[in-house]
Copies of this chain bind each other. A is one copy, B any other.
Amino acid sequence: MDKINIKILAKELNLSTSTISRAFNGSSDINKDTKERILSIAREHSFLPNHYASNLRDKKTKTLAVIVPEIANDFFAQAINGIEEVARKHGFYILLYRTDDIFEKEVSFVNYLNNGKADGIIMSVSGEGNDHQYLNNLRQKNIPVVFFDRVYEDIEAATVTTNDYDSSFAATEHLLKSGCRKIAYLVVNKSISIGKTRMQGYVDALAKHKVPFNDELVIDCSNDEKVNTKILTKVLQEIKPDGIFSSVERLAFATYHVCNTLGVSIPNQLKVISFSSLNIAPLLSPALSTITQPAFEMGVKAATLFFEALENKDTNFPKRQHVLKSKLFIRKSAE
């Protein structure tokens, strides 16, 4: 109720607003006692300098925007944790936004940020759209952008990714060595860079083992669970693959569900490996074989790159490409 600000505090203490301000900004130009006095009274009023006013002056928001396709997903949740950890150390806070993989949402949020709402952006892109110039606007305003996991190749920015190609190659090769000859590749959006890279590993592993690539085995799924169930049911019934390599955790779960329904036995009739950051993959029935990305570390790295960019504001925009390593865990589902 009783409005409080630096001015009122100043009057109350018989000081000037500048002195009050200094008390809050670690300025050395202030008498220790005065400072104490100010802070103690401020505490009584539970007063803190208004951020919007400070930001308006300083053009610093101490806020980092994080944009992800989904939140209820182990990979992203862990990555966000990593980002938050680093942000916190720098006294930054996280403005979180979820795109649901919808391009328009991504564009609208990025544009919204384009006005001093955040000091930077860490994002995993929706993967849609062709023209991503809206991201370059940010550059003009010195708002660093860091991509993680999912990247736009037409935008120059720091990136944090994993060795997707290698992992995919290794996973596919494992399936081949285990005897699979008809391996389906599950993907959500073929056009997205990450889907392409992972698929290339799959394709090349097939080639190495002289198993012909079959376009029919590339299953383009959707974001809708029910649709996926239908698609996968059809695949398992009609195409009858003997192996599944899923580029997305969600699709592996869907596969499990469909197998349960159809009575397809994993790994006997169908071996499954999936990209997944699920901690409890070993507890599934059967234990899911995974390519596990270092989600938390990726978040940490992305945030670190962001803060580096922030500090070098005048120099060039950072274009560091950071690649972390995923791990392949072969469990029951692919034995």
Contact = CB atoms under 8 A, between A and B. Distances in A.
Interface string A102-117: 0000000001101111
Interface residues of A, number: 51
B284 A116 contact: no
A78 B73 CA distance: 9
A63 B56 CA distance: 17
User: For A61, A63, A96, which residue has the most chain B Cβ atoms within 10 angstroms?
Assistant: A96
Interface string A76-92: 01101100100000000
A98 B84 contact: yes
Contacts of A84: 71, 96-98
Given A50-B116, A56-B56, A253-B283, A1 B97 contact: no
A74 interface: yes
A165 interface: no
A286 B285 contact: yes
A56 B286 CA distance: 56
User: For A46, A49, A74, A257, which residue has the most chain B Cβ atoms within 10 angstroms?
Assistant: A46
Contacts of A112: 48, 93
Nearest to A256: B283
Contacts of A80: 71-72, 96
A115 B49 contact: yes
User: For A53, A63, A115, which residue has the most chain B Cβ atoms within 10 angstroms?
Assistant: A115
B97 A93 contact: yes
A95 B98 contact: no
Contacts of A137: 46
B61 A72 contact: no
Contact of A81 (B48, B72, B95): B72
A9 interface: no
A322 to B, nearest CB: 22
Copies per complex?
A: 2
A48 B115 contact: yes
A117 B51 contact: yes
B72 A74 contact: yes
A46 B97 contact: no
A254 to B, nearest CB: 10
A182 to B, nearest CB: 24
A319 interface: no
Contacts of A287: 285
A142 B3 CA distance: 11
Contacts of A95: 63, 93-96
Contacts of A71: 71, 77, 80-81, 84
Contacts of A285: 283-287
Contact of A53 (B56, B98, B111, B286): B56
Interface of A: 1-2, 46-53, 55-56, 61, 63, 71-74, 77-78, 80-81, 84, 93-98, 111-112, 114-117, 134, 137, 140-142, 253, 256-257, 260, 279-280, 283-287
17 contacts: A1-B140, A1-B142, A46-B114, A46-B134, A48-B114, A51-B117, A81-B98, A93-B95, A93-B97, A95-B96, A96-B96, A253-B283, A256-B283, A283-B284, A283-B285, A284-B284, A284-B285
